[in-house]
A and B are shown apart, each in its own frame.
Chain A
């Protein structure tokens, strides 16, 4: 089945540690996105990528990094510079700008 797979579902980070969240899609979509969602708030854009080997910062990119070496994959690294990383992280993809974004099941990141 086509879709977006995020892993792991739950992740714990120690202070000073970098962690990487995986996002893979087999929908052949060009564009991929990372969002952060905090309780009672809407989704905020961290990074997005329109094509392979290219990506742009969203509204809250500080403390995060991404790569887009393959069309199918868009991993997000939460670095130690992100002082408040506890949140629900959602990856999305879309084929063109007129099509809706489809979301993965999310990764819930917590601090140990």
Chain B
């Protein structure tokens, strides 16, 4: 089985930086995904890490350490539209395509 933990909620100010941590315990590992989900909407894909290190994509970056079972999503220059839930999802080595999702971190951006 897999266990994925991320904080329930984080609050930050517009223009600031927020780091959302995700820790996981899995029976094998074949990639970690981050999704953004606005209230009442479908999740949208943000980033994918399968090797250790940092992946940068504009204002969003994602980091992975497989030995520590740890990832983070970094949101820079926060904008009001970044207020959303951020979901960490892990694919195990024995499950083709299947993802196990964390409960999500609600990010609240204040003016």
Contacts and interface: CB of A to CB of B under 8 A. Distances in A.
A is bound by B: yes
Interface of A: 31, 33, 35, 40-45, 48, 50, 58, 88, 90, 94, 96-98, 100-106
B42 A43 contact: no
B12 to A, nearest CB: 20
Interface string B15-41: 000000000000000110100000011
Given A42-B87, A42-B102, A48 B43 contact: no
B96 A90 contact: no
A42 B104 contact: yes
Interface of B: 4, 30-31, 33, 40-45, 48, 50, 87, 89, 91, 96-104
A98 B41 contact: no
Contact of A50 (B31, B40, B96, B101): B96
Contacts of A98: 31, 50
B26 to A, nearest CB: 14
Contacts of A102: 45
A9 B30 CA distance: 33
A43 B104 CA distance: 9
Contacts of B45: 100-102
18 contacts: A31-B96, A33-B97, A35-B101, A40-B103, A41-B103, A42-B4, A43-B89, A45-B100, A48-B97, A50-B97, A90-B42, A90-B43, A96-B97, A100-B33, A100-B48, A101-B99, A106-B40, A106-B42
A105 B42 contact: yes
Given A90-B43, A98-B31, A105-B41, A43 B97 contact: no
Contacts of B91: 97
Nearest to A90: B42
Contact of B41 (A33, A50, A97, A106): A106
Contacts of A48: 97-98
Contacts of A50: 96-97
